[in-house]
Amino acid sequence: MSKEKHWDTIYQIKKPTDVSWFQPHLQTSLALIERANLVPDARIIDVGGGASTLVDDLLERGFRNITVLDISGVVLERVKKRLESRAGFVS
């Protein structure tokens, strides 16, 4: 099984809250980003973003140039749906 297929399967059969690495908010990442004093149009990439809510929290803080990268197309589509109209600020 390919890595892509493996992660697509994980995200198809499990809810985000059912995986051991889930956190409702990534406080450490958010604190580090805040410490960097970035401007709202700074480019931010979330590598291996999965079902993380980091992108949601960054959008709430006014960031508008965010990229979420993940091997699973399934999870990226779910994140896009979750973000609804805000998905236009994310690539």
More confident residue, 42 or 22: 42
The reported pLDDT for the residue numbered 67 is: 96
Tens digit of each residue's pLDDT (9 = 90 or more) over 12-39: 999 988 988 888 899 999 999 999 999 9
Boundaries of every domain in the chain = 39-91
Tens digit of each residue's pLDDT (9 = 90 or more) over 44-75: 999 999 889 999 999 999 999 999 999 999 99
DSSP 3-state of 27: helix
> Taking the model in full, what pTM does it have?
0.88
Which backbone phi and psi does 68 adopt, to 5 degrees? -110, 125
Q: Which of 83, 89, 72 is nearest to 1 (CA)?
A: 72
The reported pLDDT for the residue numbered 17 is: 87
